[in-house]
Structure 1
């Protein structure tokens, strides 16, 4: 994803329209991002009071809202720090967290009588976690299974401590209040969280130069489809009458020509052709229905 900052930059652009601070009855904040955290909290209260009174879409509203975003960027960096060990770039994590900050600013009300930081951090962390949940999987799986993977991991840790062993599928199902089939589905889906390359060398103590997994993987069996078709044909052939089965045996088993089959049955070669067409069409339709 792009690492361009989502924070509006109008405040720092030369020639940007800035509302009259006297009219807004607000302090002038030249560099909001550099304000100390304690001062930022106090100034934010003043800007939140004014945000409730200015008309949305105006320059005044834009200025107040953008200043609040920059004043509270430290909250995003604080929340993002706990995810520093993730493989994603910290720049991306901060960007996603800033989206959570903006949502918190748009939904905050001073009447809640809580500190804005207390209100905003869950929004910021939630947005970051949602980003990991939706983008960190090696393959796409439904969100329900992504969330189930997290629940299973917590359940395994908790039950392993209580039981002093790895919990069974039935125990996990009972603990989470779901069916065993759902537990199995979640475990299988968890395999899609990470992926390894088949070109990576396999660790094998007997090999001085381990070969990649790709060299050990088998290819598709060319005769597999034929074997499957033969098994599917057996019940269909049993439904044919004796003469139709005899014609099939002579044509495909003994590899007799249509003329030879006609002599054997006492009919013309043309009649044998029509019989074979009818028989094979019936078998083909039966196979297609089975598929």
Structure 2
């Protein structure tokens, strides 16, 4: 069982249960579509699973959309999941329904607006991620990861990752704004929920900035940097390895670091 399924099971309503719903799908499959009881049985399956859709809708509150709209969209996703689920594959309904419903809610955000500029290529990939996620979830019995999505879509892993990140760019909210879920549950301003500055972020940004500069260094300079800052060798140890003086190593380091600093700041 996935983490998403566990969370959903713990949060489900105390009334109707969608645990062990698979026998209902077996009954539904046994009836031909034109049977007079088929539609009644389908409606009963949907009714039992409505708490699942409502639970997922609540996960998306606080993003600028009314809860009623999210709830309606999630329920549309539930109907799609019920109609598409193939019980003969031996997987649980939850493993298929959760990504299907979440995909429908995400499409709701996608279709309304993009708050930031996103390249057209990433938008096209993002449009294909939802259907691919549903198909792989049915096939694998769990949520697919990014490499599996990339293989299914026949695109680069980097493109899938960027498209998934870009999917958060539909709408923006002021950090001073107060959000709620339209159910009289006000939340504190977004700014109050933000953490402190993380110094590691600046280090990461610096590393990304100098990576291409380091790659363009002469072999000797690059090797000295690796031994000094990756292998944590002293200048004397580096000199011994290279068969040069400690003074030469010091000069190489000083010159290389100075050039990197000048190019990065420039």
TM-score when scaled to structure 1?
0.38
